[in-house]
């Protein structure tokens, strides 16, 4: 384990119920990140999606991958920028080629695997994939930028 949820909260501004990354298990600065989210039936989203057939929404999977990408971007930035993380936030610029390949249900562990396609200054382009039990369940190309709050 590299970062647990307490450490992740020092990096990202997200909080319950919108912090969608439980742990970072691997990080190669400037290259890639792996982490996971444990999907629980107690999450508020399941009250309406769907009451008798709970499915974790694809948009939440994309957001979880983006949060992992935010950790990668912050931890890959200069020490000066990392010290100023409280005054920075990561904004989505685009989501391309998003595909959802299988439903995610309560009890699943979503494994996020992201790799850097391109980085120019504050802009990051990432190849993002989500797995459950080694099965690809979602993927997308994400572009984001670190900006001042």
CA distance 92 to 123: 10
User: Is 49 in the active site?
Assistant: yes
- What does the pLDDT profile of the chain (149 residues) look like in tens digits? 799 999 999 999 999 999 999 999 999 999 999 999 999 999 999 999 998 999 999 999 999 999 999 999 999 987 767 767 778 888 999 999 999 999 999 999 999 999 999 999 999 999 999 999 999 999 999 999 999 88
Count each helix (H run) and each strand (E run) in the chain, helices first. 3, 6
Q: What domain count does the chain have?
A: 1
* Domain CATH code at residue 72: 3.10.129.10
Domain with 21, as residue range(s), is: 5-148
CA distance 65 to 110: 10
Residue of 7, 19, 22, 49 marked active site? 49
Residue 87: predicted pLDDT? 85
Residue 80: predicted pLDDT? 66
């Amino acid at each position: 384990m590299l970062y647990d949820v307490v450490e992740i909260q020092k990096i990202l501004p997200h909080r319950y119920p919108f912090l969608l990354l439980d742990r970072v298990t691997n990080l190669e600065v400037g290259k890639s990140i792996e982490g996971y989210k444990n999907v629980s039936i107690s999450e508020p989203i399941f009250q309406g999606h769907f009451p008798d057939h709970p499915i974790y929404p694809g948009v939440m999977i994309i957001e979880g991958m983006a949060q992992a990408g935010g950790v990668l971007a912050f931890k890959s930035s200069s020490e000066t920028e990392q010290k100023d993380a409280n005054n920075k936030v990561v904004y989505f610029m685009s989501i391309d080629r998003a595909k959802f390949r299988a439903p995610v249900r309560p009890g699943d562990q979503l494994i996020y695997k992201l790799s850097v396609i391109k980085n120019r200054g504050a802009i990051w382009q990432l190849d993002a994939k989500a797995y459950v039990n080694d099965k690809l369940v979602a993927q997308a190309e994400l572009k984001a930028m670190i900006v001042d709050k």
